[in-house]
Structure 1
C-alpha cells in the first residue's frame, strides 16, 4: 500500500521565501500548496485537508494572525497545527495574539525549521 504524503499549506507573500520553503518541504517528502495572498489561501482552504499550516505574520493583503485566529475558530481546521513565521522577533506578542502551536523568527535556521515541521507532522 502506498503511503500518502502529508500536505502543508504555506502562506507567504515574499516570492523568494515562499519558493525556498516550498522546495525545502518538498525535499522532506511533504506535499505543499503555497499561497502568496490571504485571498488565494482563503479560496483554496475550503477545498483541501492539510495536515499543517505555515503562516507568515505580515502579509501584503492581510495579517497571518487573523488567518490563524480564523483557522483556530473553525470546527474543520481548529485541530491542525500552525507554525507562524515573522521577521518581527517579538514572538511572545504573536503567541499572545493567536493560538498557533509554534513560532519561528525569520531569518531562521533551515535545520531548526525542518525539525519543527517534523515535530508536528510525525
Structure 2
C-alpha cells in the first residue's frame, strides 16, 4: 500500500529523531528514507525523488547548509521543498542562507512537524 505521492527523506545524525520522525510519518502513510549523513546527497535524493526533505543543520559531513545548496543547485532536484530543522536559535537565518523553503525549530512537537510538512506540500502544489 505504498503511496507514491508521499515520499520523504530525513537527514539527521540523531538516531532518536530519525526513529521518532520515521515512525510518526510512516503511521501517516509516508514512505520514509532516513540518512545519518549527507554524503553523496545528490545521488541519495535522485534515487528516491521525495516530495519533501527534512534537513538537519549539523549533519555530517558537509552540514545542512551545504547539502541544501547542493540540492537547490541541481536542476532535477531544486523543486523539492526542504524543511530545515535545527536547535539553533538563528534557524530562520540558517534556513534562508541554505535556500530551504521553511524551517522547524527543535525541539518540535509532532503537530508542528505535520503542519510544516503539509504547508510546504500545499505551497508546491499550487
TM-score of the pair, normalised by structure 1: 0.88
Segments of structure 1 that go 5 or more residues without pairing to the other structure are: none
**Number of the residue aligned with 2:117:** 117
Deviation of residue 49 (structure 1)? Answer: 1.2
Deviation of residue 105 (structure 1)? Answer: 0.9
What is the RMSD computed on CA atoms of the aligned residues? 1.8
**Number of the residue aligned with 2:50:** 50
Segments of structure 2 that go 5 or more residues without pairing to the other structure are: none
DSSP-derived class of the 1:115 partner = helix
Superposition map of 1:39-78 within 5 A: 39=39, 41-78=41-78
TM-score of the pair, normalised by structure 2: 0.86
Tell me: CA distance 1:3–1:87, structure 2 relative to 1, closer, same or farther (3 Å): closer
Deviations 1:31-52 (A, max 9, x none): 1110011126454223221111
Deviation of residue 95 (structure 1)? Answer: 2.9
Deviations 1:25-81 (A, max 9, x none): 111111111001112645422322111110000123220111110111110011110
